[in-house]
């Protein structure tokens, strides 16, 4: 089959490209490179020995999306394209609503016009809000999001559900990711954040590389066994294989289905630091710092539905995630750039 991946040059998209190509599918990528670069796709081709049809363009631009769908025979789309920096979304909310909701609406209209009514959407555990109930199941009532980024996921889910409700030909699969980390085992593709990373794993990697002097652990007075926050970290290649299963499902069913993609195992920040040190035989400078506003004490998935319905299950351990993240970071100290532009 032939799948369109919007935002396919990004972190999760590029790993999903590898997984789909290795499974024998064809991949078409539409990306405006606002947070990625064509080099990621070149490396996907290097890993798989397969070609990717790459289009540079904005998913909010109707004419470009229609152009891609006119030229390519697509069976289903995976919609990764979106802005994802939580803090930035608080500063420039209109850009986030315009880009993330605009891309979802434009893509759906173009897909419908081309009779490709199958979409897998990148949602997030953030839609559960500050749920006190863990593990989180798909049928939990949605929570209040704490930032505009989260609301764009919440609203995109609503838009897609309404679309499938109005037209029964649609197949919509909403994937709620927990905390994706790690990299392809080759070390050729990985997460390439710009500026100071917000997320834990890229910050750990840059600290281990000496780019950052110290990891701050935000809060050690949470109501958790060691006082630090608990998350459900999932290896990006497990996440990628979840997309393959979700696409297969979307091609055989109609209506809307929601799946958590997580391991079901909570891991504290402290446990993650220890696992990283153990997996990579190094010492990570760290200290405790005040809580980060907006953080919740614990978040982890109940992944039973994805296992039962999709036959999908995460297989990588925390040590695998730490090893592969460091393998990528240590072989690509400046990400996809060949040198540090600041130097």
Nearest alpha-carbon partner for 11 in 239, 337, 279, 332: 239
* Residue 39 near ligand NAD by CB under 6 A: no
- Interaction mask 152-181, ligand UFG, x per CB under 6 A: ---------------------------x--
Out of 16, 126, 131, 280, name the contact with ligand UFG by CB under 6 A: 126
C-alpha gyration radius of the chain: 19
Contacts to ligand UFG from residues 271-310, by CB under 6 A: 292, 295
204 membership: H or E segment, kind and range: helix 200-208
Answer for the pair 27, 5: CB distance below 8 angstroms, yes or no. yes
* Residue 66 near ligand UFG by CB under 6 A: no
**Out of ligand UFG, ligand NAD, none, which partner does residue 32 contact, by CB within 5 to 8 A per kind?**
ligand NAD
**Out of ligand UFG, ligand NAD, none, which partner does residue 217 contact, by CB within 5 to 8 A per kind?**
ligand UFG
Shortest distance, position 86 Cβ to ligand NAD, whole Å:
10
* Residue 329 near ligand UFG by CB under 6 A: no
Active site residue 149: yes
Output DSSP code: residue 199: S
* Residue 97 near ligand UFG by CB under 6 A: no
The tokens of 316 are what? 């990588």
Task: Choose the binding region for ligand NAD from 11-19, 107-115, 255-263, 266-274 (rule: CB under 6 A).
Answer: 11-19
- Residue spans of beta strands (DSSP E) within the chain: 2-6, 26-31, 53-56, 76-79, 118-124, 171-177, 179-181, 215-218, 230-231, 233-235, 255-261, 267-268, 286-289
Q: Which is nearer to ligand NAD, 34 or 289 (CB)?
A: 34
Answer for the pair 41, 14: CB distance below 8 angstroms, yes or no. yes
* Residue 269 near ligand NAD by CB under 6 A: no
* Residue 199 near ligand UFG by CB under 6 A: yes
* Residue 82 near ligand NAD by CB under 6 A: yes
- Give backbone dihedrals phi and psi of 10, rounded to 5 degrees, phi first: -75, -175
- Candidates 149, 177, 233, 336; catalytic one: 149
Task: Choose the binding region for ligand UFG from 195-203, 305-313, 322-330, 331-339 (rule: CB under 6 A).
Answer: 195-203
Pairwise CA distance, residues 333 & 343, whole Å? 13
Tell me which long-range contacts 312-315 makes (C-beta under 8 A, separation of at least 24).
312/241, 312/242, 312/245, 312/259, 312/261, 314/234, 314/235, 314/238, 314/261, 314/262, 314/263, 314/264, 315/238
Shortest distance, position 176 Cβ to ligand UFG, whole Å:
8
Applying CB under 6 A, which residues contact ligand NAD?
Answer: 6-7, 9-13, 31-36, 58-60, 80-84, 99, 103, 122, 124, 177, 180
Q: Cite the active site residues.
A: 149
């Amino acid at each position: 089959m032939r799948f369109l991946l919007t935002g396919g040059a990004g972190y999760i998209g590029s790993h999903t490209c590898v997984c789909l190509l290795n499974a024998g599918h064809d991949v078409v990528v539409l990306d405006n490179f606002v947070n990625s670069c064509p080099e990621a796709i070149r490396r996907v081709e290097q890993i798989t020995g397969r070609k990717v049809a790459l289009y540079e363009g904005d998913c909010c631009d109707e004419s470009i999306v229609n152009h891609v769908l006119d030229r390519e025979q697509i069976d289903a789309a995976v919609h990764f394209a979106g802005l994802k920096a939580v803090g930035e979304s608080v500063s420039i909310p209109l850009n986030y609503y315009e880009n993330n909701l605009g891309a979802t609406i434009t893509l759906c209209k173009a897909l419908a016009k081309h009779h490709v009514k199958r979409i897998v959407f990148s949602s997030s555990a953030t839609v559960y809000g500050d749920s006190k109930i863990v593990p989180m199941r798909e049928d939990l009532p949605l929570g209040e999001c704490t930032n505009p980024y989260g609301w764009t996921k919440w609203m995109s889910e609503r838009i897609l559900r309404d679309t499938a409700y109005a037209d029964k030909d649609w197949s919509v699969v909403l994937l709620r990711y927990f905390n994706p980390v790690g990299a392809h085992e080759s070390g050729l593709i990985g997460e390439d954040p710009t500026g100071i990373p917000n997320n834990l794993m890229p910050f750990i990697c840059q600290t281990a590389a000496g780019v950052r002097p110290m990891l701050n652990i935000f809060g050690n007075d949470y109501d958790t066994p060691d006082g630090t926050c608990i998350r459900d970290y999932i290896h990006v290649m497990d996440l990628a294989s979840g997309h393959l299963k979700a696409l297969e499902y979307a091609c055989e069913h109609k209506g809307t289905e929601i799946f958590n993609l997580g391991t079901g195992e909570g891991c504290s920040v402290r446990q993650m630091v220890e696992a990283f040190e153990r997996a990579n035989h190094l010492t990570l400078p760290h200290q405790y710092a005040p809580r980060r506003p907006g953080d919740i004490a614990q978040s982890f998935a109940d992944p039973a539905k994805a296992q039962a319905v999709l036959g999908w299950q995460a297989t990588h351990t925390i040590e695998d995630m730490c090893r592969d993240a460091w393998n990528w970071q240590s072989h690509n100290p400046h990400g996809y750039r060949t040198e540090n532009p600041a130097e």
